[in-house]
Amino acid sequence: MTDATMDAHGDPNRVREIAELTMTNPGPAPKRIVTGYGFWIFILSDMIMFSAFFATYAVLLGQTAGGPTGRELFDLRNVAIETGFLLASSFTCGMASIAADMRSKTWFYLAMAVTCAFGVGFLAIEGNEFASLVARGAGPTRSAFLSAFFSLVGLHGLHVSAGILWLLTMMAQVFAKGFRADIQRRFLCFALFWHALDIIWIAVFTVVYLLGSAQ
Partner 1 sequence: MTQAHDNAAHPADLAPGDEHVEGGSIGQRVLGYVVGLALAVLLTATSFFVAGTDLVWQPSIPVALVVLAIAQMGVHLVFFLHITTGADNTNNVLALAFGILIVTLVMAGSLWIMSNLNHNMMPMDQLMQMQR
Contact residues for partner 1, defined by CB under 8 A:
1, 4, 26-27, 29-30, 32-33, 35-37, 39-41, 44-45, 47-48, 51-52, 54-56, 58-59, 76, 80, 83-84, 87-88, 90-91, 94-95, 97-98, 101-103, 184, 188, 191-192, 195-196, 198-199, 202-203, 205-207, 210-211, 213-214
The least distance separating partner 1 from the CB of residue 192, rounded to whole angstroms, comes to 5
Instruction: Tell the burial category of 111 from Cβ atoms under 10 Å away from its Cβ (0-12, 13-18, 19+).
Output: buried
Q: Smaller CB distance to partner 1: residue 27 or 140?
A: 27
CA gap 206, 215 in Å, rounded: 13
Q: Which residues of 61-100 are buried (b: 16+ CB within 10 A; e: fewer)?
A: beebeeebbbeebbeeeebeebbebbebbbbbbebbbebb
Instruction: Tell the burial category of 127 from Cβ atoms under 10 Å away from its Cβ (0-12, 13-18, 19+).
Output: exposed
Q: Smaller CB distance to partner 1: residue 10 or 135?
A: 10
Q: Smaller CB distance to partner 1: residue 18 or 59?
A: 59
- Number of Cβ atoms within 10 Å of the Cβ of 138: 22
Q: Smaller CB distance to partner 1: residue 133 or 148?
A: 148
The least distance separating partner 1 from the CB of residue 154, rounded to whole angstroms, comes to 19
Q: Smaller CB distance to partner 1: residue 37 or 175?
A: 37
Which residues are within 8 A (CB) of 199 and not within 5 positions of it... i.e. 6 or more apart?
A: 47
DSSP code, position 104: -
The least distance separating partner 1 from the CB of residue 204, rounded to whole angstroms, comes to 10
The least distance separating partner 1 from the CB of residue 183, rounded to whole angstroms, comes to 12
